[in-house]
Amino acid sequence: MSAAGAGKAAHLRRWRLVLGRYGEEGLGGGGLRGADRRMDRALDYLYGRELARRGLRSTRRTGFGSLDPSRLTPLRWLGECRSLFPQSVYETIQSHALDRYEMHGLLSDPKLLESLEPNRDLLKSLIAFKGHADPAVQEKIREVARKVVEDIVRRLKPQVSRALAGAPNRFRRSQFKAMQNFDWRATIRENLKHYDRERQAVIAERLRFFSRMRRRLPWTIILCVDQSGSMLDSVIYAAVMAAILAGLPSLKLHLVVFDTAVVDLTEELDDPVEVLMSVQLGGGTDIGQAMSYCEQLVVQPTRTICVLVSDFEEGAPVGRLIASVRRLAEARVTLMGLAALDDQAAPAYDRGVAQRLAAAGMRVAALSPDKFADWLGEVIR
């Protein structure tokens, strides 16, 4: 076959796999063999559901025998996809199965769950599904969630630590070299080796001074997180960020999640998986009530950072929310409203409420976790 002919054949093959069985007649799909045939079957097992929704009937010939998608089990299908496709393609197919086609049966069998590739999209589906899982599956969900969370922590922790601890400490660089701080005992000890016998004197080549001790109160960070379904990505990253921040010195952290009720998860900070397993998605949203609760956690306003992670879709009268933010701002609490806290930083939020929050004294943004850490570092320094 000539190079042109081979290129055309490869082009037709790709289109045949994209179009599925309905492109078989026009593109000569009957010629699919080997791995291509298996790919076609695996893709049809999932994406044929979309065509069935639209009322299209299968035109597949019966010659496929045991290769027909109807004979695949979910476990065997997952194994086929893993062996046939690159990792990135496999994860995309898995995500489509859970999110687009609601194949939640994949999450109800512990063996199937073990076959799924742990990633953030899977974690989102697990969190949404966990309330319907039996105890055996719950434990598998926890195991998968821990793998995903540990991967995110491993990636983010160096960036966060560097952003918050990488700057010079302006409170320790000066020795305040004034005579009232002169340490004559330490100066003598330091310079005894420079004793001049002829002069019978110690030659002080290096002077020592006491450092003035400045009492510095720790910073308090309050993460107030909306647990509505649209904020699921941000909830995951907020739980991970909370665990990382809680392990840093000179920081005191509170983690609060809310819908129409407020739940303080500060006691669970050291385990983000437990935080995520405690999240209850859906329901209404009362942001004002959550911010009022956060007001009670403020002890030293000028050393407190309150971060509201929400789409600002307030279900209660917005006046209570605005009043709470205004009181915190007047007390000189540093306020940040995050419309998104994830890798994409692509928010969908109520711009009207966001504008009113900004006018009341809250900075509003959508940030990736590393940019959020940079912002915290700037405030704390």
Q: What residues make up the domain containing 369? A: 215-380
The answer to whether residues 244 and 189 belong to one domain is no
28 band by pLDDT with thresholds 50, 70 and 90: low
Is 320 a residue whose pLDDT tops 80? yes
Domain annotation covers residue 224: yes
pLDDT of residue 38: 83
Q: Which residues of 271-281 are buried (b: 16+ CB within 10 A; e: fewer)?
A: ebbbbbbebeb
- CA 82 centroid distance within chain: 25
pLDDT of residue 62: 37
Is 321 a residue whose pLDDT tops 90? yes
Rama region for 314: left / alpha / beta (φ>0; ψ in -120 to 50; rest): beta
Is 100 a residue whose pLDDT tops 90? no
144 band by pLDDT with thresholds 50, 70 and 90: confident
Q: Are 208 and 237 in contact (CB under 8 A)?
A: no
- Domain of 331, CATH number, reads 3.40.50.410
Domain annotation covers residue 281: yes
- CA 148 centroid distance within chain: 10
> Which H or E run contains 2?
none
Q: What is the DSSP letter of 132?
A: G
**Mean pLDDT lowest for which of 157-161, 190-194, 266-270?**
190-194
Domain count along the chain: 3
Domain annotation covers residue 128: no
CA atoms within a 13 Å half-sphere pointing along the CA-CB vector of 154: 6
pLDDT of residue 308: 97
pLDDT of residue 19: 63
Domain annotation covers residue 126: no
3-state secondary structure of 76: helix
3-state secondary structure of 279: coil
The answer to whether residues 300 and 199 belong to one domain is no
The token pair that represents 266 in the structure block = 């500060």
Q: What is the DSSP letter of 271?
A: -
Query: Which residues, including other chains, have CB under 8 Å from residue 192's CB and lie 6 or more apart?
Result: 202
pLDDT of residue 36: 79
**Nearest residue to 116 (alpha-carbon basis) of 84, 140, 134, 151:** 140
Per-residue pLDDT of 200-259, as tens digits, reads 787 777 777 665 444 456 899 999 999 987 788 889 999 999 999 988 888 899 999 999
The answer to whether residues 342 and 270 belong to one domain is yes
Burial of 135 (0-12, 13-18, 19+ CB in 10 A): exposed
Over residues 2-21, mean pLDDT: 64
Domain annotation covers residue 362: yes
Over residues 150-158, mean pLDDT: 91
The token pair that represents 193 in the structure block = 């080796």
pLDDT of residue 362: 97
> Which H or E run contains 309?
strand 304-309
Greater pLDDT, 158 or 51? 158
* Claim: this prediction has a pTM higher than 0.85: no
The answer to whether residues 225 and 374 belong to one domain is yes
Angle at CA of residue 360, ends 355 and 362, nearest 5°: 75
Query: Which residues, including other chains, have CB under 8 Å from residue 17's CB and lie 6 or more apart?
Result: 36, 39, 40, 43
364 band by pLDDT with thresholds 50, 70 and 90: very high
d(CA 329, CA 124): 34
The answer to whether residues 304 and 189 belong to one domain is no
Last residue of a domain, one of 94, 116, 138: 116
Give backbone dihedrals phi and psi of 75, rounded to 5 degrees, phi first.
-65, -45
Query: Which residues, including other chains, have CB under 8 Å from residue 103's CB and lie 6 or more apart?
Result: 46, 74, 97
The answer to whether residues 192 and 237 belong to one domain is no
**Mean pLDDT lowest for which of 29-38, 249-258, 286-295?**
29-38
pLDDT of residue 278: 85
The token pair that represents 55 in the structure block = 């009322």
The answer to whether residues 185 and 262 belong to one domain is no
pLDDT of residue 163: 85
Angle at CA of residue 129, ends 132 and 139, nearest 5°: 75
pLDDT of residue 356: 97
The answer to whether residues 349 and 293 belong to one domain is yes
pLDDT of residue 351: 94
**Mean pLDDT lowest for which of 51-60, 77-86, 128-137, 149-158?**
51-60
Domain annotation covers residue 139: no
Is 130 a residue whose pLDDT tops 70? yes
The answer to whether residues 319 and 240 belong to one domain is yes
Which amino acid, 197? R
